[in-house]
């Protein structure tokens, strides 16, 4: 019986980890100024969106924490806002960067922080 309990616990942990690992955008990101238009980069900086953290339950930018649920698709990820104010689309680029449709009406390219 203890083996069954251990196996069940291991399976539960694997399923939980799989959900987090299945979302390729989780983590810290910073604006890629070389790949983002000057206008979009300025808008991102002025609205405190030059760096963002995507957590499994929220988007964090500056002092703002926006609770979200994630929908992972083939080449994009959608963050559905818990407050009912829509969603944010994130395109997965082939080189590991992402293109984010920002709430200020522009698109910006981000790279993993520190890369």
**Predicted pLDDT at 28:** 98
Supply the pTM of this predicted model: 0.79
- CATH of range 2-112; options 2.40.128, 2.60.120, 1.10.3470, 3.30.70: 2.40.128
Q: Where are the domains of the chain?
A: 2-112
**Predicted pLDDT at 13:** 40
Q: Calculate mean pLDDT across residues 47-63.
A: 96
DSSP string, the chain: -HHHHHHHHHHHHHHHHHHHHT-TT-EEEEE-TTTS-HHHHHHHHHTT-SEEEE-SSEEEETTEEEEEEEEE-SSEEEEEETTSS-EEEEEEPTTS-EEEE-TTS-EEEEEETT-
**Predicted pLDDT at 21:** 61
Would you say residue 6 has pLDDT above 60?
no
């Amino acid at each position: 019986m203890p083996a069954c309990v251990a196996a069940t616990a291991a399976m539960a942990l694997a399923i939980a980890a799989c959900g987090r690992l299945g979302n390729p955008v989780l983590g810290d990101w910073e604006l890629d100024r070389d790949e983002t238009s000057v206008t979009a980069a300025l808008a991102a900086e002025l609205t405190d969106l030059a760096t963002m953290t995507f957590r499994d339950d929220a988007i964090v930018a500056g002092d703002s924490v926006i609770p979200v649920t994630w929908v992972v698709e083939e080449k994009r990820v959608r963050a559905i806002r818990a407050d009912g104010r829509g969603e944010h689309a994130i395109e997965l680029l082939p080189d590991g960067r992402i293109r984010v449709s920002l709430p200020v009406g522009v698109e910006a390219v981000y790279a993993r922080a520190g890369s």
